[in-house]
Amino acid sequence: MGHPRSLTVLVTLATGTVAIAAAAGGAAVANAAGVAGTTHLGADGVLVGAEPSALDRPSVRTAPAWWTARQAASNGSAPAFLPARSHYLNVGGDRIALFGGHVWLPDVNPGSQRNDSLLFGRTSGGAAALPTLFQTSRFSLDTLSFTRTVPAASHYQVQLLFAEIFRTEAGVRLMDGYLSVDGGPPVELFTDLDVFARVGGDTLLNVTTDFLPVARQVTVTLQRSRFLSDNVFLNALAVIEAPRPLVPTPTPNPAAAIAPLIAAVRADANAAVPLQVAHARRVADADAQVAAAVSAAGDAPPGAPADALAALTATAAAFNATASAVDDQVTALDGAAAAATGFARRLSPPVCAFLNGGASSPVTRGEVGRLRRLRGAVADALAALEAARDASLTTYADVLTAKQVLTVALSTLS
């Protein structure tokens, strides 16, 4: 028979998203990032070819430089298979199995970790084409749990490997999977996982997590889904240390975002000041221009150009409307800035502590988010004020033009 198909599920715990890629034999396998590689199973059950980057891990053929250096510093010998800080378990198997370039140790731990679990194996039929690792499994009528203690704090990836070698139809064995790190609350890996429905019988399914920081231990728990289906099972389990040191992303101090937000609010408020001064001057000039023109028209002899006077009056009214809109936006900006600075003032003690080198701050992300929204309202108010100013400039120019037309018309009557 040909090589069995395989499918990989990459679980991203931070976002809860799951990316799936399937392949048959030597076909392309795409990982969650869309990068494709070509793999197939060798006669000894070893994956031959480039594995997807989501499953990238050192093998006997490509030992990473940091591992070789560590070995040379200790006893000068090259690694036999993988760093001892990675753990590969042949779940349900009573002997060593080779798969993917790794040594999978027999399942000989005390039964207390496995609840009421039992063993099942099959080497006939479609299972005969499977690697030895997948010809045995451990199953439970209720819950299956494995806890693995890591030898050192590091980043580890957890892989759960399945192959349905017993059931021959979908909708029979549905499982929920959970992962707990260092005794923390269980995080959902999947719900209602039906291996047969996903990939069919005698076919590999790999559920793989991201590399996660682990200080002491990881616990994997499988239980029957809420539909109370048949038993749960697992063929293999791997806890793999990151092939290179991973630097955790530092959690930013929320207070660090406050100072630039306050500075931005002040900058917007300061930018509005010369705008308001220039606007006040335009209003005063327009009032004076219109008053002078109307007075001149009143003192003119009979036959004063009524149309030009009406045009000036209309443009003056339009300008007054845009000027009022500017005043309204000034009020809105002042209110938004007052709300932002008032809220920031209540946060000033922790902000000052942060700016003066304080190691911690009681400022929460929610408070920073609220201040960011208040700062956004100030920016919006400034943009609206600038738009109103631009409209006012247009009508101000119209007033000057109408006044000039009226002046020219009056001069012809002299």
pLDDT at 249 over 60: no
**Predicted pLDDT of residue 362:** 60
Domain membership flag for residue 249: no
Percent of the chain at pLDDT above 70? Answer: 68
Provide the pLDDT for residue 303: 61
223 within domain boundaries: yes
Q: Which of 261, 262, 250, 253 is nearest to 361 (CA)?
A: 253
Measure the CA–CA gap between 119 and 97, rounded to whole angstroms.
16
Tell me, yes or no, whether 225 and 273 share the same domain: no
- Quote the mean pLDDT of the chain: 74
In DSSP notation, 153-174 reads SEEEEEEEEEE--S--STTS--
DSSP 351-404: HHHHHTT-S-----HHHHHHHHHHHHHHHHHHHHHHHHHHHHHHHHHHHHHHHH
* Domains held by the chain: number: 2
Instruction: With cut-offs at 50, 70 and 90, classify the pLDDT of residue 66.
Output: very low
Q: How many other CB atoms are there within 10 angstroms of residue 249's CB atom?
A: 6
Given this model, what pLDDT does residue 264 score? 86
End-of-domain residue from the set 241, 276, 310: 241
346 in the same domain as 215: no
Asked which of 56-65, 189-198, 219-228, 349-358 is least confident by mean pLDDT, the reply is: 56-65
The rounded Cα 124 to chain-centroid distance in angstroms is: 46
Residues 311 and 383 in one domain: yes
* 3-state SS track over 62-104: CCCHHHHHHHHHHCCCCCCCCCCCCEEEECCCCCCEEECCEEE
pLDDT exceeds 60 at position 156: yes
Give 293 or 87, the one with higher predicted confidence. 87
For 266-293, what is each residue's pLDDT tens digit?
888 888 889 889 999 999 998 988 888 8
CATH number at residue 380: 1.20.1260
1-15, 33-47, 232-246: least confident range: 33-47
- Whether the pLDDT of residue 413 is over 50: the answer is yes
E-assigned strands of 164-226? 175-181, 187-193, 204-209, 212-214, 217-224
Say what the pLDDT of residue 91 is.
92
Domain final position from 216, 241, 266 = 241
Q: Are residues 110 and 205 in the same domain?
A: yes
CB-count exposure of residue 62 (10 Å: 0-12, 13-18, 19+) = exposed
Report DSSP state, residue 289. Answer: H
Position 12 confidence tier, pLDDT thresholds 50, 70, 90:
very low
CA 71 to chain centre: 37
- Which of 241, 265, 288 is at the close of a domain? 241
Residue 298 has pLDDT above 50, yes or no: yes
CA distances in angstroms from 140 to 94, 122, 397, listed in the order given = 17, 17, 85
Q: Does residue 235 have a pLDDT over 90?
A: yes
Q: Of 368 and 206, which is predicted with more confidence?
A: 206
Q: Cα–Cα distance between 143 and 207 in angstroms, integer?
A: 18
Do 231 and 286 lie in a common domain?
Answer: no
Q: Return d(Cα 3, Cα 283) in angstroms, integer.
A: 85
pLDDT of residue 81: 36
Residues 177, 324 share a domain: no
Residue 182's pLDDT band, with cuts at 50, 70 and 90, is very high
Residue 366 lies in domain: 254-411
